[in-house]
Amino acid sequence: MNGFDTAILTFLTQHEFDSAVLNHAIRVMAGLYTFKGFVLIPVLWWIWFQPGERREWQREMVIATIVSGLLSLLVGRTLAHYLPYRVRPIHNSELLLHFPPVNFPEPVLRFWNSFPSDHAMLWMSVATGIFLVWRTLGALVLLYTVVFICLPRVYLGLHYPTDVIGGAILGVAITYLMTRDAARKRYARPASIWFERSPAASYTLAFVVCFELITQFDEVVRLGESIENGLQTAAPTVHGISAQMEIRPVVHACRNSNLPLVANR
């Protein structure tokens, strides 16, 4: 681990809040969707329905922001899967640091790559889109994202500072590129026209997409893992070794515990 991460984590653990109530509140903020997507996504809907001369452009930017958020989440999960494994601070015994206890699924925390923080990627991506549309409100949303979404994950030892910073930079960059005129007009404008022509279908799809974005596709992943688990369980034994044994230890542990796989990665 680099000196930058060490210095910040040491400072945070040395100045850990003595209040059990405050530490519990930070755990709640880090664990619930209420303090993440249920704050930022409604802001996008508010911008969408705002009247004015820039309404068409604003709607294109909202669509581009949603697409950027989806892309950021996908890129974050892909990088976490393929990059060299990095143990989370809370499970790094070499640090000799004490973090406040967390109630998140143990197998997910221990075996899922710490870098990058997909929370930072996703919600900094969305916050950047809001900022590009409405500077004053966007600045507040960016500040909220840093204080109430990113910092608690470092404070609780779920991520190193560079995990969050790296994820935030990637999320901001994705939104910036996807909202440029050359890129945005290729997909956001046709989508906006579709909303005008087919409101029933388009708004239904928008609701589903926004809901899944808020939950970071938690239940979709759990459903997929459950189906895979059932297929593996039903698979015949080959050469005396059950196909179930081929499942990665982290996925196996999560399934047996019936705990969510995504929400607190």
245: confidence class by pLDDT, cuts 50, 70, 90: very low
pLDDT in tens, 163-181: 999 999 999 999 999 999 9
Percent of the chain with pLDDT over 70: 84
Q: Is residue 235 part of a domain?
A: no
82-91, 104-113, 195-204: range with highest mean pLDDT: 195-204
User: How many separate domains does the chain show?
Assistant: 1
Q: Is residue 161 part of a domain?
A: yes
pLDDT in tens, 216-243: 988 888 888 788 888 888 865 544 444 4
pLDDT in tens, 12-33: 777 777 677 888 888 888 888 8
Give the CATH number for residue 56. Answer: 1.20.144
Q: Is residue 258 part of a domain?
A: no
pTM, two decimals, is 0.82
Q: State which residues form the domain around 91.
A: 3-217
Q: Is residue 229 part of a domain?
A: no
Q: What is the 3-state secondary structure (H, E, C) of the chain?
A: CCHHHHHHHHHHHHCCCCCHHHHHHHHHHHHCHHHCHHHHHHHHHHHHCCCCCCHHHHHHHHHHHHHHHHHHHHHHHHHHHHCCCCCCHHHCHHHCCCCCCCCCCHHHHHHCCCCCCHHHHHHHHHHHHHHHHCHHHHHHHHHHHHHHHHHHHHHCCCCCHHHHHHHHHHHHHHHHHHCCHHHHHHHHHHHHHHHHHCHHHHHHHHHHHHHHHHCCCHHHHHHHHHHHHHHHHHCCCECCECHHHHCCHHHHHHHHHCCCCCCCC
Decide if pLDDT at 199 tops 70: yes
Q: Is residue 238 part of a domain?
A: no
142: confidence class by pLDDT, cuts 50, 70, 90: very high
